């Protein structure tokens, strides 16, 4: 139904039509075959309601297999039928926009200051996401080409040590309650997706439940301000640089502007991941890839500038973009070691055990200044 709705309008952007033309080939080719060519590359579109409300184990297993196959071959999936109401997402966007419109001096009152907490406001240019783990190299990248975005980071609000940073209620009325409700909503979706992954990996459906129930997640509100195209044309510059995510899953809610690109794991070329109304983009992160002994891909991705509005004979201005990312993490004391169904005599474990906290905090400490 979604594909039919999108295809019914002749004014749809070409990249969306291209994506949907690829979906029409699903009956004739496999995902593994399609992703080996840039011309047929696709991110699978999965109706997750069939898992959430399934009346039989076989139906749940069918969807679980589709999700696991998507993470094996691409590292990304689109989910419809995820259960989060459009009005809920729209309200989060509204409150996020109200926050970012505040004066810099007000937002700086809740500035991000500690990778262990990972909470607060991050101004434009302070973050430089990258695959590098070298502090000197990251500092040089940040100086030369910082990410052209600002963000607000929110964690679990009841943490006994690390507290969220909230402005006064009068600054953005309803902001705190809106974000905390959405945090819980995303956590619940994450739990169900992880149950589907467990089934797809031949584990008990509740295998991950007690390893991800403490909600050590990060809700990130993102604002990409308009920027002159000449600034984005400089070497190494991007709205958000090439990177993979750190945790288990990322739930990404895109606005209509677009700009997300995903690396084809086979050709190493970046392909658009256009916004599809009503969907959540879900990708596997580094810890889930490590947990699965690289059965899953933690795929590189980036955010580039969409088509710009011409403002002179020599340049243009990109539109403002909003997105909402929910970074799902295991419990911080969870030991991440290869899952029993992902190792055997011919495929031994590739990684030593590590706790979530050791991995996440180390990556965050190198990312920010």
Write the CA distances from 117 to 113, 167, 289, 357, integer angstroms: 8, 17, 24, 11
Structural domain boundaries, residue 79: 49-367
Angle, vertex CA 47, rays to CA 295 and CA 154, nearest 5 = 70
The predicted pLDDT at position 186 comes to 98
- With tokens 């590292």, the residue in question is 75
Which two structure tokens, joined as six digits, stand for 196? 């589907």
The predicted pLDDT at position 164 comes to 97
The predicted pLDDT at position 126 comes to 55
The predicted pLDDT at position 145 comes to 40
Which two structure tokens, joined as six digits, stand for 150? 């600002």
Does any domain span residue 20?
A: no
Among 226, 207, 217, 165, residue whose Cα is nearest residue 327: 217
Does any domain span residue 6?
A: no
Give the pTM.
0.85
CATH number, domain with residue 168: 2.60.120.330
- CA 287 – CA 298 distance, rounded (Å): 8
Contact 8, 30 (CB under 8 A): no
- CA 34 – CA 155 distance, rounded (Å): 38
Contact 275, 256 (CB under 8 A): yes
- CA 212 – CA 285 distance, rounded (Å): 14
Q: What is the DSSP letter of 186?
A: H
The predicted pLDDT at position 241 comes to 77
Does any domain span residue 184?
A: yes
The predicted pLDDT at position 367 comes to 66
pLDDT digits (tens, 9 = 90+) for 147-175: 578 999 999 999 999 999 999 999 999 99
Q: What is the 3-state secondary structure (H, E, C) of 237-286?
A: CCCEEEECCCCCEEEEEECCCCCEEEECCCCCCEEECCCCCCCEEEEECH
Does any domain span residue 11?
A: no
Maximum Cα–Cα distance across the chain:
63
Among 260, 223, 216, 200, residue whose Cα is nearest residue 70: 200
Does any domain span residue 66?
A: yes
In which residue ranges of the chain is pLDDT below 70?
1-28, 125-147, 228-240, 306-316, 366-369
pLDDT digits (tens, 9 = 90+) for 47-72: 999 999 988 999 999 999 999 999 99
The predicted pLDDT at position 365 comes to 74
The predicted pLDDT at position 242 comes to 86
Q: How many CB atoms lie within 10 A of CB 66?
A: 20
Q: Report the SS3 class of residue 47.
A: strand
Residue-wise DSSP of 62-93: HHHHHHHHHHHHTSEEEEES----HHHHHHHH
The predicted pLDDT at position 232 comes to 56
Domain count across the chain: 1
Beta bridge partners of 79: 46, 280
Q: Tell me the pLDDT of the chain averaged across its residues.
A: 85
The predicted pLDDT at position 55 comes to 85
The predicted pLDDT at position 115 comes to 83
The predicted pLDDT at position 35 comes to 95
Does any domain span residue 213?
A: yes
State the pairing for strand pair 301-303/309-310. Answer: unpaired
Does any domain span residue 23?
A: no
Does any domain span residue 198?
A: yes
């Amino acid at each position: 139904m979604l594909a039919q709705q999108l295809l019914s309008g002749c004014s749809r952007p070409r990249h969306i039509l291209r994506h949907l033309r690829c979906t029409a080939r699903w009956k004739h080719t496999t995902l593994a075959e399609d992703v080996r060519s840039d011309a047929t590359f696709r991110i699978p579109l999965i109706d997750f309601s069939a898992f959430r409300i399934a009346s039989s184990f076989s139906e749940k297993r069918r969807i679980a297999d589709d999700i696991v196959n998507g993470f094996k071959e691409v590292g990304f999936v689109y989910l419809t039928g995820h259960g989060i109401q459009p009005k809920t997402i729209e309200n989060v966007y509204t409150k996020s926009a109200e926050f970012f419109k505040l004066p810099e001096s007000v937002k700086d009152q809740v500035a991000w200051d500690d990778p262990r907490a990972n909470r607060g406001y991050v101004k434009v240019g302070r973050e430089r996401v990258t695959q590098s783990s070298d502090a000197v190299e990251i500092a040089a990248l940040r100086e030369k080409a910082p990410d052209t975005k600002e963000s607000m980071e929110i964690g679990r609000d009841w943490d006994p040590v690390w507290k969220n940073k909230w402005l006064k209620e009068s600054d953005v009325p309803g902001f705190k309650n809106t974000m905390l409700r959405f945090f819980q909503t995303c956590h619940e979706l994450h739990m169900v997706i992880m149950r589907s992954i467990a089934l797809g990996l031949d584990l008990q459906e509740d295998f991950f439940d007690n390893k991800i129930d403490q909600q050590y997640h990060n809700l990130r509100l993102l604002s990409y301000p308009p920027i002159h195209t000449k600034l984005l044309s400089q070497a190494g510059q991007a709205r958000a640089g090439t990177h993979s995510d750190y945790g288990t899953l990322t739930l990404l809610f895109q606005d209509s502007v677009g700009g997300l690109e995903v690396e084809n794991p086979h050709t190493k070329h970046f392909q658009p991941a256009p916004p599809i109304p009503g969907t959540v983009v879900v990708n596997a992160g580094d810890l889930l890839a490590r947990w699965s002994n690289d059965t899953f891909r933690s795929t590189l991705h980036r955010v580039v500038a969409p088509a710009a509005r011409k403002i002179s004979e020599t340049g243009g201005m990109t539109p403002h973009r909003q997105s909402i990312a929910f970074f799902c993490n295991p419990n911080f004391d969870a030991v991440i070691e290869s899952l029993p169904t992902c190792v055997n005599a011919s495929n031994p474990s590739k990684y030593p055990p590590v706790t979530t906290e050791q991995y996440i905090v180390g990556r965050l400490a190198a990312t920010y200044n």
